Structure 1
C-alpha cells in the first residue's frame, strides 16, 4: 500500500501532518527480541579428580576460584621471554590486521547510524524547453536549484536493529583481536620453551655421544688386546651411530622454533634472529590461578566471540520482524526555479507510507529463517562454552599426569646417579671395568634426557592452561588503542 501527498497547505496540511504524527506515536517501537546476556554456567568443576590432586596441600599446583591477573607469561620469571612477547605484541601482523578490521567495523556502525538522522542533499537542474500553446508556441530556458531533505521515521526500529547488529559485529571483531592476542602470547611462550628444551636435550645428547665414543675406543682397544670380540665392537659402533641420529631432529626443533618466533614478531627469519633460551632460566609456576567455570566462560575470547555472534543473530530477527510492518518516510524540498522571464520559490512536503500486502510469504519466511539462525547460533554458543570446559579439564589432567611422570623420572634419575657413583667407586677399587662405568654414565645421561622432556611437557602444559583460561586477554584491544593514542598500555 502506497500513498503520497505533495504541496500540502492550509487545513489539509495540518490534518495530514497530524495523522502522520499520530501514526508514528502509536507505532514508534523497536520490534523483535531485546538481546539479554547469556546467564553464567552452573558448572562448578572441570575435572574433580584433577582439581583434588593438583589442589591438595602436599603438591598444590592450582588455586581454584582465582582469576589470572596481569601478564600471565611473567609467571615463568624469564625477562628474556617477557621481552620477546612484548616485541611480538608490538610487531605481529595478525594483530595489525585485526586492529584495522575493528576500525573498519566501527566505521560500519557509524554508517548504519547515519540512517537514523535526516538525509539532506542538494539538487540543481537546468535546460531549454519548448512550450506549445493554442495561440503561439514559445522556447525558453529554465532552471531549478535548492536543498532536499528526507527522513525515515524508522517507526518499527528496523534501522536501530541494523545499528545494533553492526555494534555486535564490532564487538565480535574486538574479541577476535583478543583471541589473536591470546594465541600469539601462548605461541611465543611455547616456541621459546621448545628452543630451551632443544638446547638442553642437545647438550645431554652431546655428552651421551662423548660417552659412546669413549666406550667404542675402549672396546676397540680391548679387541686389539684379545679380551673382547668383534661383536662387542659392532655393538658399540651401532650404539654410537644410533645416538647420533638424535641430534638432527633436536636441531631442527630448535631452528624451527626460532624461525617461528621471528615470524610471530612480524619479521622474517633472516631479518631478526630470536635469542637462545636456556631451560634453567624458566621457573615453573607453583600455583596457577584457575577461575571457576561460571566465571571462566566470560574470560575466554572465543566464548565472547560466540556471544557476539548470538547478539548479531538476535538483531537480525529484529530486522526481519521490522520488515513485516509499514515503512514511513517524510521528505521536503525548497527550490528557486525560473522559466523564461519569470521565477519563483517552490517548496514541497511529502509523506510516504509503504507496507507489504502480498509477497508470497517471503518476509515471514525470512523472519523464520532469522529465528532458526538465532537458534543455531545459540547452540553453537553453548557448544563453545562446553568445549572450553573440556579444554581446561584436559589440560588439568595433563598437568596432573606430568607431575606423576616427573616423579617417576626423578626416581629413575636418582637410581641412575646412584648406579654411576657405585660403578665409579667399584672401578677405583678394581672391582669392575671402565666399560661398566661408561655404561652407567650413558644410563645417567639417558635418564637426564628423559627428565628434560618431562620438564618441557610440564612447562608447555602450564602454558596451555593459561591459554585455556583466557590468559587475561579480554580488554587488550583497549590497551592497543591507548598505545596508539600515545598513552602507556598496561603491558609495557
Structure 2
C-alpha cells in the first residue's frame, strides 16, 4: 500500500486557516431584517369619561381616584392593607407549581440558546481507527496492522448569517418564556387577592344572613305568642315560618363560595385543600385603595407581560425571515484534520485542509416559498401584536368604567340601606302599637336584608374591580424572574 503523506508544520496550518477565515468573515453579512420594537401607541387615554370622573378629587360619589402617568408599585396587593393577604400571596409565590414549571422552562430555553450558539464556533472532535488489512497489489501479498488517530475541525463560516439569525430566534424564544413567567406571576397574584376577597365577602354575607335568621326566629316567636293571645291569625304564623325557611336557603350557597375560594387558595399555593387551609378573611380588615396609579397607554407595552410576549413572538418571526433568506445563498464550510497514521512498519503525520461551497440551483421554488411564508408569518404576528395592545387598552378602559360605576352603585346602595333601616324600624314600632300587620314588618325586613346584602356585594365588587385594574395595568410583574434569580443567588453570595 502506498501512502502519500506530508509532515505538518504545526505553525503554518493555524495561520493559514485563521487568515482564510478572517477573509471570508470580513466579507460576510447577516441577511434579513434587523428587528425593531414597534413604536409606542399614540393614544393618551383609555376612556376619557372614566378618567375624568375618577381623576376629580372633589368627586364625592367615588371613594377612589386615579393618578395618571404613575406606574403600579411592587407588591401592589399591599395597597389593601391586609397582613393576612400579604402572607398568603408570598406563600403562593414561593409554592405555586405553575411558576416552578415556568422557571424550569426558561432555563431549558436558555440552554437551547447556548446549544444554538455552538454553531457559531469551530466544531472540534476526535477520531481514531484501527484494523488489520491484506494487501494484494504487491509481488508478495501481506497482512498488516494499521491505525489512524487525531483531531478534526469543522467550521461553518455562516457567510450570510443564517446561524446568527437562529441564535437570535432562540434568544427571542427565551424572552418569550420569561414573559410567560411574568404573566403567570401576574395571574397568580391577582387570583390570590380575588379569592381572599371572595372568602371575606362570603363571611360578611353569612354573618348578615345569620343576623337576619336570628330576627326571623324572634319574629316567629312573637307571632306565635300573639296567635295564642288571639291577636293574629294562623296565616301570620305561616308567613313568619316561611320567611325563616326561605332565609335559611341563603346560607349554603355562601358557604360553598367560601369553601371553593379556600380550596382555590390552597391549590394556588401548591398544596391540596386538606394539606393547607386558608385563613378566614374579614372584609373589614381590607382597605379600599384611595389612589390607584394608572400608567399611560404609551407605556403599556413595557408594563404588561402579554404585550411583551407578543413582542417576543414578533421578534422570533423577524428572525425566521433572516433564516429563510440565508438559505437562499451558498454555505461555506471549512474543515481540517491532523492525524498520526501508521500501516505495517511505516507511519507518518498527515494533515488536510478543505473548503466547501454548496448553494441551491434549482429546488422547485421551495426556498423562496419558505421565505415568503416567513414574511407572511411576520405580518400575521405583527397584526396579533397590535391586537394584543388594543385589547389591553380595552381591558383597562372596562375596569376604569367598572370602578366608576361601582362608586355610583355604592352611593345608591348606602342610600337604599339607610332607607330600608328606617322603614324597618318604623314598621316594627307600628306593629308593636297595633297599627299594621306582621306582613308589613316581614316585607320591611326583606327590603332591609336585600339592602344589607347588596351593600356587601357592591363593596366586594369595588375590591375585585380594583384588583382587576392592578392586573390590567401589569401589576409591576415585568422583571420578576430576574428578581427571583437574584434572590436565589443572594444566599450563595452571603455564604461565600
The equivalent position to 2:388 in structure 1, one of 384, 389, 392, is: 384
* TM-score normalised to structure 2 length: 0.92
| Residue in 1 that maps onto 2:24 | 24
Give the Cα–Cα distance (whole angstroms) in 1 for the partners of residues 481 and 96 of structure 2. 14
| Residue in 1 that maps onto 2:329 | 325
Please show how residues 69-468 of structure 1 align to structure 2 within 5 Å. Answer: 69-423=73-427, 440-468=444-472
3-state SS, counterpart of residue 226 of structure 2? helix
Provide closer, same or farther for how the CA distance between residues 422 and 17 of structure 1 changes in structure 2, counting only shifts above 3 A: closer
Give the Cα–Cα distance (whole angstroms) in 1 for the partners of residues 23 and 362 of structure 2. 22
In the TM superposition, residue 375 of structure 1 has moved relative to its aligned partner by 0.5
In the TM superposition, residue 397 of structure 1 has moved relative to its aligned partner by 0.8
Structural RMSD (CA): 2.4
In the TM superposition, residue 220 of structure 1 has moved relative to its aligned partner by 2.6
In the TM superposition, residue 231 of structure 1 has moved relative to its aligned partner by 2.6
In the TM superposition, residue 430 of structure 1 has moved relative to its aligned partner by 7.2
CA contact (8 A) 2:57 2:65 kept: no
In the TM superposition, residue 487 of structure 1 has moved relative to its aligned partner by 5.1
The number of equivalent residue pairs is 480
| Residue in 2 that maps onto 1:49 | 49
Give the Cα–Cα distance (whole angstroms) in 2 for the partners of residues 45 and 22 of structure 1. 54
Q: List runs of 5+ in structure 2 lacking aligned partners.
A: none
CA contact (8 A) 1:336 1:344 kept: yes
Give the Cα–Cα distance (whole angstroms) in 2 for the partners of residues 33 and 174 of structure 1. 24
Give the Cα–Cα distance (whole angstroms) in 2 for the partners of residues 42 and 487 of structure 1. 44
Give the Cα–Cα distance (whole angstroms) in 1 for the partners of residues 437 and 52 of structure 2. 49
In the TM superposition, residue 103 of structure 1 has moved relative to its aligned partner by 0.3
Give the Cα–Cα distance (whole angstroms) in 1 for the partners of residues 354 and 291 of structure 2. 71
CA contact (8 A) 1:8 1:349 kept: no
CA contact (8 A) 1:109 1:166 kept: yes
Cα shift readout 1:295-344 (whole Å, capped 9, x = no counterpart): 12220000000000000000000000000111001111100110001111
Q: List runs of 5+ in structure 1 lacking aligned partners.
A: 1-5
CA contact (8 A) 1:123 1:145 kept: yes
Cα shift readout 1:124-168 (whole Å, capped 9, x = no counterpart): 000111111242211101000001111111111011001000100
In the TM superposition, residue 466 of structure 1 has moved relative to its aligned partner by 0.3
CA contact (8 A) 2:80 2:286 kept: yes
Provide closer, same or farther for how the CA distance between residues 46 and 8 of structure 1 changes in structure 2, counting only shifts above 3 A: farther
* TM-score normalised to structure 1 length: 0.92
